[in-house]
Amino acid sequence: MEFDQQFVEFIVKALVNKPEEVRSDRKVDEQGVLITVHTSPEDTGYVIGKSGKTAVAIRTLLATIGAKANMRVSFRIDAPASSTRRAAAGDETGSMAPVAEIQKDEDADSVDSLTF
């Protein structure tokens, strides 16, 4: 196993709840190195991070490692098909986030009750 692949596995295993299920594949072609990380469906979100910031940070670190070796290193997260994703509010599949119902008195500008 190459250093860049070991590095990615080390970081991803530190992020997830089930590190024993983390594995990675390394593929070299004319465009550079592609490291694909496979995790359990529940842990994929931890690797991606909020708004993808964790994945971007890992890619930035890999770019530095690749620059040292004079090659391009890319990173891909293999999201399992059975992973659960939160639906957007108003989506037909429903949302996992609580929906607030606000009841407002028509004569006043204040909120009377807020229920979840």
Whether 15 and 47 have beta carbons less than 8 Å apart is answered as yes
Nearest-angstrom CA–CA distance, 112 and 68: 61
Cite the DSSP H helix spans in the chain. 3-15, 44-48, 53-68
Whether 38 and 78 have beta carbons less than 8 Å apart is answered as yes
pLDDT band at 1 (very low <50, low <70, confident <90, very high): confident
> In this model, does residue 9 exceed pLDDT 60?
yes
Q: Does 111 fall in a domain?
A: no
Kind and range of the H or E run holding 28: strand 23-29
Q: Does 105 fall in a domain?
A: no
Q: Does 86 fall in a domain?
A: no
Q: Does 94 fall in a domain?
A: no
Q: Give residue-wise pLDDT tens across range 18-52.
A: 999 999 999 999 999 999 999 999 999 999 999 99
Task: Give pLDDT, residue 85.
Answer: 54
Task: Give pLDDT, residue 87.
Answer: 43
Residues 55, 90, 84, CA angle at the centre, nearest 5°?
40
Q: What is the pTM of this model?
A: 0.67
Q: Does 34 fall in a domain?
A: yes
DSSP 39-55: --TTTHHHHH-GGGHHH
Range of the domain at 51: 1-81
Q: Does 116 fall in a domain?
A: no
CATH code, domain with 66: 3.30.300.20
> In this model, does residue 16 exceed pLDDT 50?
yes
Whether 13 and 22 have beta carbons less than 8 Å apart is answered as yes
Q: Does 43 fall in a domain?
A: yes
Number of domains in the chain: 1
